[in-house]
Amino acid sequence: MERVGEYENVLNSYREALRQTVDREQEPAMKKHLDRGKLPARKRISLLIDPQTPFLELSSLAAYDQYNNQFPSAGIITGIGRIHGREVVIIANDATVKGGTYVHETLKKHIRAQEIAMQNNLPCVYLVDSGGIFLPEQARLFPDRFDFGRIFHNQARMSAEGIPQISVVMGSCTAGGAYVPAMSDETIMVKNQGTIFIGGPPLVKAATGEDVDAEELGGALVHTGISGVADHLAENDIDALKKCRSIIETLPLPDKQVLDVVPPETPLYKASELYGLAPVDLKKPVRMREIIARLVDGSKFQEFKERYGTTIITGFARIMGYPVGIVANNGFLTSEASLKAAHFIELCNFRKIPLLFLQNITGFIVGKKYEQEGIARNGAKLIHAVATASVPRFTVIIGGSYGAGNYAMAGRAYDPNFLFMWPNARIGVMGGEQASQVLQSIGKKGGKSGAPDLVSQFEEESRALYSTSRIWDDGIIDPTETRSVLGLAISVSLNRKIAEPKTGIYRM
């Protein structure tokens, strides 16, 4: 019960941060938005997707505790929903946040949603209501490889791959942002509300001396009747969303990957018991098999190599009826654990079974004995197996995620289809105390006088809220929702066929 109480404190902090971010009905910008006859971004999404179906919102707390909290959710809502039974990535600008303009996290979140669409072969729907780049931040948004231009690059690449791009222009669509609808396969515009122009009226006046209003310059009547930039005219938000649903209904269905799916089985144990099992104090051992028993169907887990490399747990199970291979930490990664996990990943890859990584890892074991035994070589084999696996991969950081252990367990750099964190999770190159000791030992800043500052810095920067604010993950999830979130994520991944493995199975 003590651990449950500790976890409730962590969970309440997360829930309060989420409430402050999402509950904005009384803000002046929201009231002004509603007075114009426009719907909030999340309401638009709820009307777009099929009734009574879930919407998997991603990175809800992006930009949290940054910019004086003036960019809730980074001013953009992204996620996956079903439209006429088909899974779709939805990217919706929130015009109540600085006019829907983009800061660094907005851009990163938008591009991450496109990456998910590409990796999982999902159509993209853009609900556009944006003023483009937030000009004071332009140096962080404009010139680099994964900056603003990457949005349009991704649209072109996806369209070329046959991944539909649909835009619904529900407000301003200015400057570079004008290319989102212009590069879409089909575009809907809301009458007397949506506008598209490379340069707005003030810029036109400054550049040419011409006086022109927004509607005359780039309104829906202009672009659906004169320029041809848009294809469909809608009377209002609701009409536009209906038209979008109709377009999605006519799209060809993807050639899905077929798995051996069975009816889901409820675990034998209550999901709420995860609150007492989730690690809050990362120095204490975690009963990982107990956590697995509360996530998988019927609490059934066919363990692989149970008696070998025991600091990692591997085995087969089902989640919401889908087969999965689970790789879960049970301590330091040793040579034996690395070889065991690499062997298991090969099995899953050859059998086309999706992989679930449950991270609670301090890293690889260190010391003369282990170095001489070849821990670097054997760890590299695991990292190689993770990096080259062709099956869908899903990562949940349930505790710590430190050092090279993060890489070996399908961290962000290894392109898992989705990566989520529990509210208690921690992520960093190492713990604060260890970092302080390392710096003390080499005589650099972080000696006795600087150690407390370094420890507090590492503690702050390793928090789940810090990570999710910077979109190092796809969002924080309540442990009790892990099963349903993974079920939806696995379903999404099956929209793209799994590539054939390039090698057979060989023992490490």
Residues 226 and 291 in one domain: no
Q: Is residue 71 classed as helix, strand or coil in its secondary structure?
A: coil
pLDDT of residue 2: 65
The CATH number of whichever domain residue 170 belongs to comes to 3.90.226.10
Cα distances from 487 to residues 76, 113, 219, 395, 418, in angstroms, run 25, 19, 42, 13, 12
pTM across the whole model = 0.94
Burial class (CB in 10 A: 0-12, 13-18, 19+), 382: buried
Domain that holds residue 215: 24-250
Would you give the distance in Å from CA 482 to the centre of its chain?
14
Is residue 41 in some structural domain? yes
Residues 206 and 282 in one domain: no
Is residue 235 in some structural domain? yes
pLDDT of residue 444: 57
pLDDT of residue 484: 98
Residues 234 and 304 in one domain: no
pLDDT of residue 42: 97
Is residue 257 in some structural domain? no
pLDDT of residue 322: 98
Residues 151 and 279 in one domain: no
Residues 309 and 397 in one domain: yes
Is residue 76 in some structural domain? yes
Q: Say how many domains are in the chain.
A: 2
Question: Which residues sit opposite 314 in a β-bridge?
Answer: 304, 327
3-state secondary structure 402-452: EHHHHHHCCCHHHCCCEEEECCCCEEECCCHHHHHHHHHHCCCCCCCCCHH
Q: How far apart are CA 421 and CA 286, in angstroms?
A: 16
Q: How far apart are CA 407 and CA 384, in angstroms?
A: 10
Q: What is the pLDDT along the chain (508 residues), one digit of tens a residue?
A: 567 888 999 999 999 999 999 999 899 999 999 999 999 999 999 999 999 999 999 999 999 999 999 999 999 999 999 999 999 999 999 999 999 999 999 999 999 999 999 999 999 999 999 989 998 999 999 999 999 999 999 999 999 999 999 999 999 998 778 899 999 999 999 999 999 998 888 888 888 888 899 899 999 999 999 999 999 999 999 999 999 999 999 999 999 999 999 999 999 999 999 999 999 988 888 999 999 999 999 999 999 999 999 999 999 999 999 999 999 999 999 999 999 999 999 999 999 999 999 999 998 988 888 898 889 999 999 999 999 999 999 999 999 999 999 999 999 999 999 999 999 999 998 877 777 677 777 765 544 545 668 888 888 999 999 999 999 999 999 999 999 999 999 999 999 999 998 777 776 6
Residues 284 and 399 in one domain: yes
Residues 341 and 210 in one domain: no
